[in-house]
Amino acid sequence: MCGIVGYVGYRDCTDVLVSALTKLEYRGYDSAGIAVFENGKIAVAKTQGRLSDLTNKMETEGKPHGHAGIGHTRWATHGEPSDINSHPHSGRRVTIVHNGIIENYKQLKQFLIDNERDEFLSDTDTEVVAQLLDFYYDGNPIRCIRKTLHELRGSFALGIIFSDRPETVYAVRCESPLIVAQGQGEVFIASDVPAVIKYTKDYYLLEQEEIAVLKNGAVQFCSLHGRMLEKELLTADWDEDSAEKGGYPHYMLKEIHEQPTAVKTTITPRIEDGLPNLSECGITVDSLRSFRHIFIVACGTAMHAGMVGKYVMEKLARVSVTVDIASEFRYRDPLLTENDLVIIISQSGETADSKAALNLAKKRGAKTLAVVNVKGSSIAREADMVVYTHAGPEIAVASTKAYMVQLSVMYLIAFEMAFAKGKIDKETCRALTAELVSMPQVIDDTIHHVLDICQYISTRLISAESLLYIGRGLDYALSMEGSLKLKEISYIHSESYAAGELKHGTISLITDGMPVIAIATQNTLLEKTVSNIREVKARGAMTIVICDEKAEIGVDAADYLIRIPKINEMLMPMVATVPMQLLAYYTSVNKGNDVDKPRNLAKSVTVE
């Protein structure tokens, strides 16, 4: 949601904080700010707008100099984006940055007002925390953090400095992610590892309610009760380059091109003797045989990967699968039993609703499996079993490579489960797995093959006010993702629809020239989909059809054809995804939008 950073070391603190925040702007970018110890006093610089607005402001008004401080980039939850609502926020002696949400901030604010603490400047929940810390501060930072945390409800990660504890940064977390990175003679806090990878690859994961004290270039950990803690130092297995744009104009385009490698890295270690083998992730053949029902629970793009998973698992393994939006699942009192498997899919592993769904599933005794990209994230740690997707850091807000690797894991699970249940024989399982293994090359070819046509067709989309994405079967599952991708970065209203359902109401939306993007990769359903395409074309729609290179689709149905390689139709989603991503990307570029940071969105949704 927001990004927080902190630094204690020998470098210029402002430079480090700004550099680290640059890597966290994907988490929020409607205001930015820092607080630095300058000559023993806390100097604050903050502004509404992007980080570049903050650096411009510091250039004209002067930037704080020092060696310890905290910083923030914001995605507004409480109070509009404004200078005054920007972090850091201060009490009399305490200044903080905060990622997350304080659910009971109104009651706490009232409590403070009742206790003659009514010095509130902003509309934020964060300022209430700063004032509460201040209220409890009696010269002992740990005690004051403990008392404050005791009062807070919600999810949060905090970077805290006390005016009478110069050159020291405190950090604590509850739900929202936070790492502490250790360099040579310098130490950092950050919401995510890429923020500081330029300085060091070594980091600690701060656990629930652990406090980190950063001082003299080193860190000490303690519990809320002040008990010293030993923690395991982890090393990131990717470097700065893999978190940079590498010559691409946008992270999104870079990440689209990284998909072949991401899929290869994800599936290769899970294939043995030509067959899927997920035992390393804790998934046994016996357990795969035994599940009564499978729930796939996720949000947004990750949920769309689950939709594809449902089709494939049901078809191959003959097990019933329900896909749920996490924010619905957590409140709909689902019929979960100990014989069910709940698969939580999440790129970040920190999405609040997905995490709550996981907790609910565990409470009800179901087995839980996380499909997660970020190592050591909350969902990965809390699930019974975890399959990591190895996409590497995904920086663009619009998910591409993470979706692709989530698909690849859905296939691995479906193949292994179908084989374990005796629904397919070894040879069929081997053949399917071999096709999955060939996907990186097919995806790579597809990217190069469709790039130009997608770029061209996007010029026909930019003036549209609204469009439809349609498909049947797996293509329908895919159209949901195509539609989401397009709307979130192009800002064109788009809906996905089951092609056969159009005539039950939605077809009345079709007007002259309205773009309809049809996915028609499922041969068994091709004729039916083509009739639906003809129906919208006959009513004036401009039709763009994504189909395989052999599909017989004439100009009577398609104004534009995007041909992709023909492979096993069950695996077509991994290929058809590519033109959908590129159409969205180029439409956004052609409209002059901020592709990697679309308005109102944040990469990691750690609030409900």
Residues at the contact surface with ligand F6R, assessed by CB under 6 A = 299-302, 346-348, 351, 354, 398-399, 488, 604-605
Tally helices (H) and strands (E) across the chain.
18, 27
Instruction: Judge whether 429 counts as a catalytic residue.
Output: no
CB closer to ligand F6R out of 167 and 350: 350
CB of 462 to ligand F6R, least distance (A): 20
User: CB of 575 within 8 A of CB of 591?
Assistant: no
CB closer to ligand F6R out of 23 and 146: 23
CB of 27 to ligand F6R, least distance (A): 11
CB of 160 to ligand F6R, least distance (A): 27
370 bridge partner residues: 344, 386
The tokens of 519 are what? 């996915």
DSSP codes of every residue in 298-339: E-HHHHHHHHHHHHHHHHHH--EEEEEEHHHHTTS-----TT
Cα of 476 vs its chain's centroid, Å: 23
CB closer to ligand F6R out of 196 and 402: 402
β-sheet with 211-215: strand ranges across: 89-90, 94-102, 154-162, 168-174, 211-215, 218-222, 228-229
Amino acid (1-letter code) at residue 484: L
CB of 342 to ligand F6R, least distance (A): 15
User: CB of 260 within 8 A of CB of 267?
Assistant: no
CB of 281 to ligand F6R, least distance (A): 18
Q: Which residue sits closest to ligand F6R, CB atoms considered?
A: 300
CB closer to ligand F6R out of 351 and 446: 351
Distances (CA, A) of 525 to 199, 473, 521, 522, 528: 53, 8, 8, 5, 5
CB of 299 to ligand F6R, least distance (A): 4
CB closer to ligand F6R out of 42 and 576: 576
Q: Find the helix packing angle between 259-267 and 439-461, rounded to 10°.
A: 150
DSSP codes of every residue in 569-580: GGGHHHHHHHHH
The Cα–Cα gap between 360 and 339 comes to 15
User: Active site residue: 2, 144, 454, 547, which one?
Assistant: 2
CB of 423 to ligand F6R, least distance (A): 29
The Cα–Cα gap between 505 and 517 comes to 18
CB of 378 to ligand F6R, least distance (A): 11
Residue 483 CB neighbours (<10 A) = 24
Instruction: Judge whether 13 counts as a catalytic residue.
Output: no
CB closer to ligand F6R out of 358 and 516: 358
User: Active site residue: 254, 264, 597, 603, which one?
Assistant: 603
Residue 335 CB neighbours (<10 A) = 10
The contacts of residue 291 (CB under 8 Å, 6+ apart) are 319, 339, 340, 341, 367
CB closer to ligand F6R out of 222 and 325: 325
CB closer to ligand F6R out of 186 and 596: 596
The dihedral sign for the CA sequence 576, 577, 582, 585: positive
φ/ψ of 519, rounded to 5, equals -105, 125
The contacts of residue 234 (CB under 8 Å, 6+ apart) are 202, 203, 204, 205, 375, 376
User: CB of 158 within 8 A of CB of 97?
Assistant: yes
Which of the residues are catalytic? 2, 603
